Amino acid sequence: MSDTALPTSIDHTLARLSALDYVADRQLATCVYLALKLQRPLFLEGEPGTGKTEIARTLATMLGRPLIRLQCYEGLDLAGAAYEWNYGRQMMEIRLAEATGGGAKESRDALANELFSERFLTKRALLQAIDPANPVPPVLLIDELDRADEPFEAFLLEVLADYQITIPELGTVKASQPPIVILTSNRTREIHDAVKRRCLYHWVDFPDAKRELDILQRRVPGIGPALAAQIVAFIQKLRSIELTKLPGIAETIDWTRALMELDTLVLDPQVIQDTLGVLLKYQDDIARMQGSEAARLLDQVRREVGPQAPSAPPPEGGGPAWGGPAPSRPA
């Protein structure tokens, strides 16, 4: 069997994802397997940094398919997502025809037909993904759909249901083989039911400690076991606190790499305070963790996973002492 063939079972899907260092749980692997077998789009929703975008990249690598990414944003429309006519080239063609005396009715009719041919069509991500000329069906990633305006979702319905796009001037373009479609959302707003009905759905949650430790050791080779265990335990406890933005797997990996660059062997109060900006992205969250709250979490981590780190002096530079009262927030 070819290495780029579709997986034959859920366990096979898990194994092939794992071979590319994507550590999925069984529920996600089941959804991926069914989406591939049933040729249905897969809609992944969850907190930022939980690996939703990465699954599309991993699938493209696993199956040897090109990855076409549509990054959604406010104001995205059909011209930016699917296609638009190259009006500049069309105008040049009209002026060239006029200059060469193409004034006869037959010439005008031929020019009108030519102007709206594929030669003057600029293909964007959606049309590229369903192009019948594709040698192999690509992986189409429609990333962060919740960032786009709600009316844009109506444009997607034809693509998601029939893998086709109707261009009034040209006709209907339909994929000869359906692409693998992955949609993601960070749930900053609700996605319309009409989109969800056309997809298989999975909520991508933060990993448990065991899976996050596995991810960390794969993504950051060379990390010491003591530091890895402490980082995962600290992150897991941090996610139990009400913060503006909980750290995802991406932040865990970035923080680990930062700690390794600082030659950190085990967590201590000073290094946590110095690197909070890698882990947390809002000042209110950082201010909350600069006092007794972080010290409390670190003490719990040390009791649970060890080994005990040597006592550290209070942070330098006039910062709050660990174990002291948390700084008050500005009004």
* pLDDT exceeds cutoff 80 at 318: no
pLDDT computed for residue 292 by the predictor: 77
Residue 164 has phi, psi (to 5 degrees) of -150, 160
pLDDT band at 26 (very low <50, low <70, confident <90, very high): very high
- Specify whether 190 is located in the same domain as 160: yes
**Looking at residue 191, which CATH number applies to its domain?**
3.40.50.300
Q: Which of 146, 181, 204 is the last residue of a domain?
A: 204
- Specify whether 150 is located in the same domain as 110: no
- Specify whether 131 is located in the same domain as 58: yes
pTM for the structure as a whole: 0.84
Kind and range of the H or E run holding 79? helix 78-81
- Specify whether 52 is located in the same domain as 149: yes
224: alpha, beta or left, given left = phi > 0 and alpha = psi -120 to 50? beta
* pLDDT exceeds cutoff 50 at 148: yes
d(CA 108, CA 139): 41
Q: Is residue 311 part of a domain?
A: no
Which is higher by pLDDT, 290 or 265? Answer: 265
- Specify whether 42 is located in the same domain as 101: no
Kind and range of the H or E run holding 309? none
Q: Which of 71, 92, 115 is the last residue of a domain?
A: 115
Kind and range of the H or E run holding 69? strand 67-71
d(CA 67, CA 122): 19
Q: Is residue 294 part of a domain?
A: yes
- Specify whether 218 is located in the same domain as 287: yes
Kind and range of the H or E run holding 156? helix 152-162
Q: Which of 204, 231, 263 is the last residue of a domain?
A: 204
- Specify whether 32 is located in the same domain as 94: no
Residue 173: give the domain boundaries: 10-79+125-204
- Specify whether 190 is located in the same domain as 214: no
- Specify whether 51 is located in the same domain as 157: yes
- Specify whether 213 is located in the same domain as 200: no
- Specify whether 290 is located in the same domain as 184: no
pLDDT computed for residue 92 by the predictor: 84
Q: What is the mean pLDDT of residues 25-51?
A: 96
Q: Is residue 318 part of a domain?
A: no
* pLDDT exceeds cutoff 70 at 221: yes
- Specify whether 213 is located in the same domain as 88: no
The total domain count for the chain is 3
Does residue 117 contact residue 111 with C-beta atoms inside 8 Å? no
**Nearest partner of 232 among 220, 244, 242, judged by Cα:** 220
Q: What is the mean pLDDT of residues 28-33?
A: 98
